Amino acid sequence: MNTKVDFKRHCQKIHAKRRFAERFNVSMSIGDIYELINSIQLGKSTLLQKQSARISKHNVFCSKLNKNVTVIYDCTRKTIVTVLPDKIEE
């Protein structure tokens, strides 16, 4: 596998872990991230939007938070790029 691609994949996972900590105040392990990735790959998530050939937005259940979260998934690298914050009710 290409080292540059592996590095980018690794960076995306770190970014996703940081966004979970920032937006939901929870520490996600790489295993927790893989659980979300597996749910997306097995079709257990809801596709919300196909943003490009590579990027899609999914609503997926996060067992660590015990609720659904919206994530951005990289189809090429097969990893979660980031998690989006809950919508703010007005």
Give the 3-state DSSP-derived string for 19-30, with helices as H, strands as E and coil as C. Answer: HHHHHHCCCCCH
For residue 53, pLDDT beyond 50: yes
Which residues are paired to 46 by β-bridges? 59
Q: Which domain holds residue 26?
A: 3-84
Report how many domains make up the chain: 1
The pair of three-digit structure tokens given for residue 35, joined into one six-digit string: 């659980």
Establish if 69 belongs to a structural domain: yes
In a domain, 89, yes or no: no
Range 53-67 burial, b when 16+ CB lie within 10 A, else e = eeebbbebebebeee
Q: What is the pLDDT of residue 49?
A: 94
Q: What is the pLDDT of residues 11-27, one digit of tens each?
A: 898 999 999 999 999 99
90 within domain boundaries: no
Across residues 45-74, what is the average pLDDT?
95
Q: Is the pLDDT of residue 1 over 90?
A: no
